[in-house]
Chain A
């Protein structure tokens, strides 16, 4: 284990110390000393190839002997002086019979016994056939691989009990001398479980190491540094590239779903290029921006568009103590992304990994045919005393297809969606380094096409990254330069894609009687809604392009022993442009060719250009020292950040050609607008870590933050935290007990602290960025003097009293490892309370302006997270699983005395934020629920109804429950909380199995409890214009079908629908999903190594293959609110390839 942390580990997280370690062959070392000191060595030739770790030794000093001894001794070698200028190196014990050597204290450089001559000089090669050959030292070679049969470089290989050791090379190969016939080789590597392999008489030992899934010994990235996992006192979850590898991931936020306990990712769309995954750490802490604070290599950024292949590790700081170092920004938790860097002393490795696959819609609405629609429409109109629209004769026209222009039979979702669309990604990276310089270069391209006909949905993303690390510059400075570039384009039809506009929504609003195209070949039309296929094909495009440069440079100065100073400058420059060119689509009568309808007066070009520039400067001073077993680490820092956003928008109409949309050619209605905002933050922070013998752990943090969002006298906030840990397995009473046979590691953790949040409720720019200022902005008004006129007005009240939102969080946790760390368990419980929430407390509208944020609310989030992992290897089979379960209960504690917001999503003390609020129902009314007037036949309901419904209620209508028992249903007295939209009991289960060259993994993920609500035409029919029946609507109430799911049809009357939100329509959003399943095969190295291929792995993978849920069939259970117009979730099937060349 010590070797692993000290070895030439590939984990840069050790920082500077690790990189000074040098791996060389003994021959190289000796040659260098020969040159420097004019001496010569003799030794057995095979020893010259032995890789030794020279550590910090440079052998320049006159007394090189003690240094050399220190280097070779761990490998079981001895040094003897033969003459003044000549030395011999041999394996321990080789000389025993002759000399009776007892070099018990070689480290002190005491006089060396003279070795008698007879060895060949270094340059005269080996002593073939010498008497030394009888000594039982055998050379063993082999290869070490990890998961997926990837060769592992840098694995420490030692002979148990001797201290003799080596390290695997870049290809995972090693050579080692083993004395005797019954040696045991010990393999260890950071992040992997150590392994012992007995060696009998074989020459070749190939080993597969298992990943140490519990990663207790791993080093984890924390705020402004790293920490050994065993020494963590806060709640930190992390994943490394291994967990992310091989999946067809389009964005990082999607990739993190289910990987980290306490991090909820809600992803509900397959929209090409979109990253609609919403990330929440430990619930929704505030009514405002609840997004976690994301840092990429220490600089705030957006993780969605990073190339997943560039990412080395992701850490999630969940509790106050871990996040407190980012105080002001950390109220919603922190996600730290570390990108890859080049490996020291490694020849260039060129890697390719990519996949090609297809996407299919997860689900789509199943619409009914035209004839059935017409009959149902008549029924719906009859039910509300409106004349029926269609006669039998009309319906016959559909059935016999005699009028395909006006009585067609089109299934619009089917017409709009393609059955599949391709998706591909290719990444190439080059990685390597010398002792002083490492490099990592990568390029990735992702191409995703859409499932909608017309091919206007597509996205392309190019990612490039260069990371250079210069080490030991002037002997004291390490430079880390990291440059990322993202160029992405997202295209969609001009009408965009909204939950209530665009072709996807329109496909639900288009009558099945309208044809896609008329018989004469022109676009079909029928009034009420534009032809979605025409919109998607000929309607023009809406193209979003973004170029984003992220750069950060840091210099770490090693000022003194254990004292270093880091300064980092990071910037993020975003240039984005949205160009929407909407074309005019004219529809003509199919018979006469007369003009019928057009969607616009002319074509139009509208462009919005955004630029944003974030600049971040931070300086950190680190100092660590130990006094006996007391270890201290201290950190102090300063950080400032500025951001400036500017945009302008221009539009023009009437372009002579649809093919050349350039502003200079447009002739009508030039219009331009623009906006801008800025902010700045400035912070000081400090941290102190203390541990006693890695047994008692303590961490203190404080951050003092200022934000430009607040009035000068309210800008600053102080956010302190403390955490402590106890590794009870380090206690002697445990160490010495039999418990250690099964308990390998145990730690209790506790933390409490305070965090801040500067973000208020969403609103117009100025209410967000300078809410304390009373300002006037441009507002639209009526044309005056036949000109477009703009006005100025205040639209939002200012609040000069606004201040930081504060989060206080208590966290208790336990980490356990059993059976030599094969079984690991981690549990956390937290109580998070957000105070002074910046809330727009609704006010009586006589106020006349949008209300500003006020520090008014208080929200509690209590929850727990459990994770359990097992990993083991039995012969050639390695297997393991990780399972996680977490829950958060969210509750509004205080609304600042404001009355509750009683809308469909409420804010009310005692209930979750945005809980569903509505009526209770008692099913559908039956005829027996009415009293029939024998003379007129009129039915009077025997149950309470709304006053507004008087005279309309009939059997088949929903029965609302009279909660207060006053005999009438009213909105103010008969509604209550009916459901919670936030997912509860999120769980995941991940399993993997490796056998020889095959690897298999699967990932199941789900939500145990949750609610959703599908509104409007997403679920209903005949409740609005263009809401057409789906197959499920066959089960509506009729006198013949009284045990129905759907109420009786009531044309354009939404009494029975989700428009009156009730528990009847609440969806159960619990689900279990096979998120990913993957099978891989690695070609045996002997087949590929001649092509310089180090590794070649092929895999097939499928995402979202199977879902079990009671949710409404047409939509994804993660889409908890929809009107039906959202782009569908997709299933993907891909074939992928990972190749490493050297």
Chain B
């Protein structure tokens, strides 16, 4: 009958008191925080905007159409997930200094990684919801802060930027292979440029982007020759393959350990593609002469006879992003007359006979598709690139332009590097002026093209205050290009005045309401002090 008979402690856990002692423990705690680094979800967010669509109802489509309310599940899961990650980071930052005798360099790295992750999570929270409670310490039940009000968005933004500065100071520029995937100084600076751009702090964005460029650590991926842009998003471009010096921040995957379903979703060979490129995205690509389709002599809409014509004479990134006739694909039977599987894509498929991948818009993505991963559900181990050097270059150019400081030299050290990689005509200020094009618009176009299917378009639309774009009907290819034998399957699809299929309509975007998400019902119910965003009350 010993007194400690009832002392039955944990058998599969370590108490907080006995943790935080060794370097290995700290590293494990840091690793725990990486669980909240966003992954394929980043790409899915492409469906919030006007680059890609999957027409049947889904949460992201509901948000993009504006037809949703505060009960939508995604709202609450985004809220709860980011705060769960923030709590984990706060717990680390409050405790890690208890460990003794660890090299400063390592301590700084750990702190920098976690600080970055916390700032990263707050970025999404503030992008989505605007004002959010700023919690920088671990909370307990009964703490006043649990039921506290929201912190103004500007204050949250300042916190994020300040934390990213600290992280940049603490983090190393690079790691050994064993630490592949960890947050670097470049990631902190690059992310800072993205956040600063979002909040209109162009000088900050410019400086941060320039700081990344000056690290001289990152270079555009060119190992794939002319096809490098596409290859970056394939297995060859994975960070672990060694050739990629472009990606600054990625969520890593590993076959049968952590996988996603990206390739299959793009070209699923017996259903409808979950990512159908929109006509709006297709129309964004310049012609090879550097002129938009409305102006380029290389593009004569009236003269186009068939589907393949749309891909003629376009920015090479178009065919490396959107599946062009003649390209290899994993979707099996395409829309050609026979019903036999084919490794080469020719025509879009509209009939759901399970023999091949169907598209709602007439287009498919090839970017992010690893053909070998299409045949199996959820067995894709491609990196999800959250931030790459190309974006930093774009951030720099945009920040310069917004401050009215853009020079041709700026373009040459940024956007024209991107164009060089694919062999595209340079962006030349004088030319743009001569063609009557708006520089700002062209820089934005460049961003949309370069970063298509990387989950950034929605946030760009928000910060450019172009919400009205989301209220427009979503369109697909010209119905007339659908071959006669396939016509019965698009018969019921309405078309616009120019003959383009209308894939999604009845959309709305209310300014300013739709620039922010509503605070989720669950959270409002649990803490009425949160209030609600304008228009959502």
Residues of A at the B interface (CB closer than 8 Å) are: 381-382, 384-391, 393-394, 406-407, 511, 513-514, 525-528, 589, 591-592, 594-602, 640, 642, 644, 646, 653, 668-669, 671, 674-682, 706-708, 712, 715, 765-766, 769-770, 773-794, 797, 799, 841-849, 851-852, 854, 899-900, 902, 946-952, 970-972, 1025, 1051-1054
Contact = CB atoms under 8 A, between A and B. Distances in A.
B14 to A, nearest CB: 5
B269 A596 contact: yes
B472 interface: no
Contacts of A644: 11
Given A528-B271, A1052-B57, A773 B375 contact: no
Contacts of A598: 375-376
B270 A528 contact: yes
Contacts of B32: 779, 781, 791-793
A467 B114 CA distance: 62
B84 A845 contact: yes
B200 interface: no
B255 interface: yes
Contacts of B257: 669, 671, 783, 788
Nearest to A794: B91
Given A786-B180, A789-B34, 18 more contacts: A388-B491, A389-B352, A391-B489, A394-B353, A527-B268, A527-B270, A597-B377, A671-B257, A680-B8, A707-B6, A712-B7, A774-B15, A777-B14, A783-B181, A791-B35, A844-B523, A899-B526, A972-B70
B70 A971 contact: yes
Contacts of A848: 83-88, 90, 135, 138-139
Contacts of B506: 385, 951-952
B177 A971 contact: no
Given A784-B252, A792-B19, A848-B86, A646 B11 contact: yes
Nearest to A949: B67
29 contacts: A385-B505, A386-B55, A388-B492, A389-B489, A391-B489, A394-B351, A513-B354, A527-B270, A591-B340, A596-B375, A597-B377, A600-B376, A644-B11, A653-B256, A675-B11, A677-B10, A770-B9, A774-B17, A775-B10, A775-B14, A781-B33, A784-B252, A789-B31, A797-B140, A843-B526, A844-B526, A848-B86, A848-B135, A1052-B57
A972 B91 CA distance: 34
Contact of B71 (A597, A600, A971): A971
B12 A766 contact: yes
A347 B524 CA distance: 75
A642 B11 CA distance: 14
A205 to B, nearest CB: 60
B243 interface: no
B146 interface: yes
B69 A706 contact: no
Contacts of A513: 354
A707 B340 CA distance: 68
Contact of A601 (B11, B57, B376): B376
Contact of A592 (B84, B341, B493): B341
Interface of B: 5-17, 19, 25, 28-35, 37, 39, 55-57, 62, 67-71, 76, 79-80, 83-88, 90-91, 133, 135, 138-141, 145-148, 177-182, 240, 251-258, 268-271, 332, 340-341, 350-355, 360, 375-377, 379, 488-494, 505-506, 508, 521-527, 530
A389 B270 CA distance: 13
Contacts of A642: 8
B5 A680 contact: yes
Q: Summarize A's interface: helix, strand, loop or mixed.
A: loop
B5 A682 contact: yes
B28 A792 contact: yes
Contacts of A527: 268-271, 354
A471 to B, nearest CB: 31
Contacts, number: 296
B12 A406 contact: no
Nearest to A589: B341
Given A775-B14, A776-B19, A784 B180 contact: yes
Contacts of B522: 845
A773 B270 CA distance: 51
Closest A-B pairs by Cβ, 5 of them: A848-B87, A527-B270, A791-B32, A1052-B56, A791-B31
B29 A669 contact: no
Contacts of A949: 67
Contacts of B141: 797, 799, 841, 843, 847, 851-852, 854
Contacts of A774: 15-17
B69 A845 contact: no
B35 A846 contact: no
Nearest to A671: B257
Given A388-B492, A776-B13, A406 B355 contact: yes
A782 B490 contact: no
Contacts of B256: 601-602, 653, 668-669
A384 B57 CA distance: 10
A844 B240 CA distance: 40
B146 A640 contact: no
Nearest to B77: A845
Contacts of B80: 845
A784 B182 contact: yes
Contact of B91 (A384, A388, A793): A793
A871 to B, nearest CB: 50
A501 B123 CA distance: 36
B34 A784 contact: yes
Contact of B526 (A526, A676, A776, A842): A842
A1001 B536 CA distance: 64
A697 B352 CA distance: 78
Nearest to B259: A601
Contacts of B87: 847-849
A343 to B, nearest CB: 39
Given A514-B354, A948-B67, A948-B68, A781 B31 contact: yes
A691 B16 CA distance: 56
A792 B14 contact: yes
Nearest to B87: A848
A845 B83 contact: yes
